[in-house]
Structure 1
């Protein structure tokens, strides 16, 4: 089974894999020899939306090396489905997103995911249906590079409750959308959210 990691930097994606993807995507290959993640990050056009790939015999080891060059922050979030079959989306920082947030000390990822969804959208989660995937996102914080590891879970609620966006978290809208109304989301969201929707079976 191929090993494949994706690291998101703004709208750019860095794949760490043992083989090239089968899809005919425009991906720039990077030489693994002498690769330094901090140098790569510094030279990257953060306003672009490019795809890069590092091909390695042992992607896990290479990814671990990248992870060790950053400060790790753990977060968790949810793809929530209502009893009517619609999905919960939020609008934050001028983009469509899914509810998520950092874990608290001693908190399990699964528990953090439910808490964050309930806090950010004012709903009660009936059931956590298991992990969908994990995403990695790199950004600068206090002169350091942070690697945010987010575990994403499928969740369900009873009925289709009214949503209350947590304004103090910068959330201006929280809405239920059916899977035929996601065009505006795909046009204005993050690559990591597209990955969650892909692995959650919505694409």
Structure 2
């Protein structure tokens, strides 16, 4: 039985150069969970565990159908509500996030719900499992770039992306999106790799 590896099947999604580039994506399905708080805190850790628990439950269901797949890399969308400051200027406790794990196109919302219900019964102490769901995102045209190094130095990469967006008469039209290619528990910060991505659209030019 062949196992689907999303990272190999969708190389354009899971790779990026060390300079800004424009890419276009079709709608993509994920298991997701939304929360708020410090990414080093218990709320974030519990949300991550809940998301993986459901993702592996979905995988187990399809493995029995001989449609097995490798659970994909963790991703995150980040934002701050009603605050003109950048995320790094806001206390981490005020950060909002949506954690995502991409799933194959053949995975249905019904099976995600079944996996969630099963996980809730098995891990009753992890109540946040109830917040995991199925979602399709259509980010369309995006600017992306590979960030190499610790998360704390991301502003340097984001500054290059912002300049690229300005130079190409684009503007942001979606949430800051990250794909975590490295496991921070297994690699030193200087070598970590993270894809940074932003949905964009063309700036309307008014003539006359």
TM-score bracket relative to the smaller structure: under 0.3
Q: Which has the larger share of helix?
A: 2
Larger relative contact order, structure 1 or 2 (CA cutoff 8 Å, min sep 6): 2
Q: Which has the larger share of strand?
A: 1
Report the TM-score when normalising by structure 1.
0.26
